[in-house]
Structure 1
Amino acid sequence: MPKGKSLLEKVDQPRSSENKKSKSKRRKKKNEIDWLTLFRFSIMLFLAGVIVFHYYLITENQLVSFYVEFWNRHKKELSPILVFSGFTLAVFLTGYRLGKRR
């Protein structure tokens, strides 16, 4: 075995360059934008806006009339979307229940 430090002594001592790299990685992560957190925040903000809007409509007794008017204006666009989503949901739920039985 060659003279000098043993293998255990080399492993126990951390290198200064490794410490610098790990610190720089930590700094970079703090400066980067976490897109998932930003997306989640925007969804929560949107839901809060929807709740406030519905609360306003309820207090003004306009909720039902708003949705009736909205349905009458956009019936041509909403009907196919609702039929497609209902059909898709029914097919996937049926497949899920049949697959779960087996």
Structure 2
Amino acid sequence: MPKREISPANKAQLHSSENKKTKRKRRKKQSEIDWLTLFRFSFMLFLAGVIVFHYNLVIENQLGSFYVKFWNRNKGVLSPILVVSGYTFAVFLTGYYLGKRR
């Protein structure tokens, strides 16, 4: 019995369905990164490091002298930052309390 001929239209449909199946097989599921969880983990790691660092300074009785040296070395940068942030905090806090009264 001779093989049955497939019409060109059916051949195109058959070919496209085979391609879809192979593409699905090749595609691997990519793991998505949850950025919020990653940020929270890195923040907790940083916070733990800061706590351990300060604990070490307290144990060695160097906490006060460390911050005095740090302030003297970085006074030119820290002073304007503290002034601007303090002014901003005072303005917004005043606006909050005045707005809350109304």
Task: Please report the TM-score for the alignment, with normalisation by the length of structure 1.
Answer: 0.70
CA gap of 1:100–1:56, structure 2 versus 1, over 3 A, is same
What amino acid sits opposite 2:52 in the alignment?
V
What amino acid sits opposite 1:89 in the alignment?
F
Note if 1:79 corresponds to 2:87. no
Q: Which position in structure 1 is the counterpart of 2:32?
A: 32
Instruction: Give unmatched runs, 5+ long, in structure 1.
Output: 1-27
* Greater Rg over alpha carbons, structure: 2
Partner secondary structure for residue 61 of structure 2? coil
Q: Which position in structure 2 is the counterpart of 1:61?
A: 61
Deviation at 1:58, TM superposition (A): 0.1
Q: How many residues align?
A: 75
Aligned Cα root-mean-square deviation (Å): 1.7
Deviation at 1:96, TM superposition (A): 0.5
Task: Render the CA deviation track for 1:15-44: whole Å, top value 9, x for unaligned.
Answer: xxxxxxxxxxxxx99820000110111111
Deviation at 1:48, TM superposition (A): 0.5
Identity of matched residues, %: 80
CA gap of 1:101–1:56, structure 2 versus 1, over 3 A, is same
Aligned partners of 2:43, 2:93: CA distance in 1, in Å? 26
Aligned partners of 2:34, 2:45: CA distance in 1, in Å? 17
Instruction: Give unmatched runs, 5+ long, in structure 2.
Output: 1-27
Deviation at 1:98, TM superposition (A): 0.6
Structure 1 runs of 4+ with >3 Å offset:
none
Task: Please report the TM-score for the alignment, with normalisation by the length of structure 2.
Answer: 0.70
Aligned partners of 1:29, 1:63: CA distance in 2, in Å? 50
Note if 1:88 corresponds to 2:72. no
